[in-house]
A and B are shown apart, each in its own frame.
Chain A
Amino acid sequence: MDVRAQIVMAFHLDKCIGCHTCSLACKNIWSDRRGTEYMWWNNVETRPGVGYPRGWEDQERYRGGGVAEGKNVNLKSMGKGRTLASLFFQPNLPRIEDYYEPFDYDYGNLAGAPEGDDQPVARALSQVSGQPIEHIQGSANWDDDLGGSRLYAASDPNLPDAAIVESYATMFMQYLPRICNHCLHPSCVASCPSRALYKRGEDGVVLVDQNTCRGWRFCISACPYKKVYFNWKSGKAEKCIFCYPRVETGQVNACAQSCVGRIRFVGVLLYDADGVAEALLQKDADLVEATRALILDPKDREVQKAAAKNGVSEQWIEAAIGSPVYALVKEFRLALPLHPEFRTMPMTYYIPSLSPVLSTMGDTYRLMEKGTISLPETLRVPVDYLARLLAGGNRGIVEEVMRKLYAVRVFMRGENLGQPADPAILQQAGLDREGALRLYRLFTIAGFNERNVIPPQQREGQTPELRKQEAGFGILQRVKSERNDLTRRGGKDD
């Protein structure tokens, strides 16, 4: 048993209101530089929809993620030999149009236009070329709220039947916030010929070493979630860094900190690194269970001992015990990984959304009248859809989550009305009173420090004196992230 710690984010999709505050908080801190305008390390997409970049789930096109072949999990994109041969032209790379051509407006013209008969306008300008854009073709959330669109929603590969989004009676909509999943078996890391991407041993954050990256671009298409981006200015790959400068100092990620709906939970999971490769060989439908099996109980003495042997500090084990993510993923089995069938073992988890308010007439109403839980078939968001998104197509897993979420609702409704619900409801969903109350608390009134349990980074091995000796005064060096060779800027700046 090789116990390692991973810092993990969980999302309660039911509570996401699609306000994009997380995306803006992230962008303002990390990706507002030249070359990164089109990057959204955190983005929120409307589902059903095509997402950002367009059609990122279509692995026949982008060839991302892994495939189980015999006893190995190999890259879907290409082997090592073909990687070498594709250095000069990477066949699966998305185009900028697949994300969108970033734009700004010529606001200067509003005040500076010469006198004329017409009101001056602020034209859209491309932030890549500086040229005017006549028709803006897209953005990171161009299909925002278009859950019934034939153009976007009907192209969602997870829909069991595209016709359901075209009828007013059956269409549905929900939001899906996405960050880098900081996978346990990241295919971006595996695909890098320069070995610039790595997973941090202590907390599992996946990073790009900017000094080592040579811009070969294999990580960008190898990530099935399209969460590694190419900075066209610096010529290197960039990605979500799980706000490690914040997390290391005990602050929570910018996206989680700013989340208006408080949908995000951050905490530590302990897992068995020895089992990862083998777990990925399972069938699509079994991958969620295989992932859960790798996550270890931090209260278990054996696990604690093995973790300590691997250098996981006491505070981290404590944090793992109090981790809201552990409760949601493993204890209550509510939070599910996004597209586990991409076989990278993603380490962000989603609690699927309940369906919108049920109709007041017809079958679904009668089911509610009985005071019980609606059947999964009658939910507005098709269970098949959620299963393809979050469970490798396994309906049973999503139905179990749905039963629990509804049971908590029915139970709490009874508590609040002073008319306790039938205890069998909780029991049938696999919950008890205590568990339901705990979930209710986590989902509603849990404070900041309950939702985000971030342990301090271990620095005991680094005594201050030793650290000083290592650092000394050093050589002051200006960070040059832009090209600084024989060159001057090609185009005019802004």
Chain B
Amino acid sequence: MNTFIFVALPYLVLALLFLVTIYRYLTNRLTWSAYSTELLERRLLYWGSNPWHYGIIPLLLFHLVPFLFPGLAAGFLGNQQTLLVLESLGLGLALLALLGILILTLRRVNTAMLKRSTYFSDWLILFLLLVQVGSGVYIAVALRWGSLWYLHAAVPYFWSIWSANPQPEYLADLPAVVKVHAACAFLILGVLPFTKLVHLLYLPIDFLKDQPILYRWRGRE
């Protein structure tokens, strides 16, 4: 089981992520959208989408930074006060995200207007994200100082995957809920290129430096 979750799954997911994303980008950009339903329902979306995104984006960065800059993260987490602040901040954001995804799920279930613009993939990612955030909140509460042991267990494991020398031992002995959290994370990355989650691979920042009016001329550029 450990081998499947921590060795087979990540490589499968990485392959899907890279190949399918590139394939979809090259062949089918017409479906590359966030598929907003704000036009059809906006009252609940406000209370769902905002907490969800403002909660989950910093949390994703909290997971990414120690992986990219382990030394920097270690410096931060070494200070107990900083650790405490980060832990509480993380838990707060996780609760915010949980609230958001719960509202978004209930909105999908209860709004008749959304029926025909809801697909299997929407239910799938809502389910995966619920499991992911739910297990995350549980870990934050029950298995405290997660930011610290994440740095010393998960980060080296991720690097071992990245350097093609997988060492599942780092995570093999952790409680089941952590394994669920990890497996679900891999699953989310795996289905990402097939679903509307692709919208998070696109960061609209070019417009910040551009002139307001964009012209296109035939045969120029």
Contact = CB atoms under 8 A, between A and B. Distances in A.
A197 B27 CA distance: 21
Contacts of A212: 29
A93 B35 CA distance: 15
Contacts of B50: 88-89
Contacts of B206: 195
Given A479-B30, A483-B31, A195 B207 contact: yes
B209 to A, nearest CB: 9
B217 A201 contact: yes
A331 B115 CA distance: 54
A135 interface: no
Given A88-B50, A89-B49, A96-B40, A489 B217 contact: no
Nearest to A90: B38
B191 to A, nearest CB: 7
Given A185-B213, A202-B218, A484-B31, A214 B53 contact: no
B116 A201 contact: no
A447 interface: no
Most B C-beta atoms less than 10 A away, residue of A130, A185, A212, A485:
A485
Interface residues of B, number: 55
Interface in B198-221: 199, 202, 204-208, 210, 212-220
Contact of B194 (A90, A130, A486): A486
Given A128-B40, A195-B207, A199-B213, A486 B195 contact: yes
Interface in B163-221: 191, 194-196, 199, 202, 204-208, 210, 212-220
A9 to B, nearest CB: 20
A215 B33 contact: yes
Contacts of A236: 30, 33
Interface in A455-494: 461-462, 477, 479-491
Contacts of B27: 477
Interface stretch (A226-234, A367-375, A401-409, A410-418): A226-234
Interface in B59-111: none
A489 B218 CA distance: 38
A483 B191 contact: no
Interface string B10-32: 00000000000000000111111
A483 B216 CA distance: 28
Contacts of B113: 96, 126, 128-129
A129 B28 contact: no
Contacts of A82: none
Contacts of A95: 39, 42
B121 interface: yes
Nearest to B218: A202
A443 interface: no
Interface of B: 27-40, 42, 45-46, 49-50, 52-54, 112-122, 124, 191, 194-196, 199, 202, 204-208, 210, 212-220
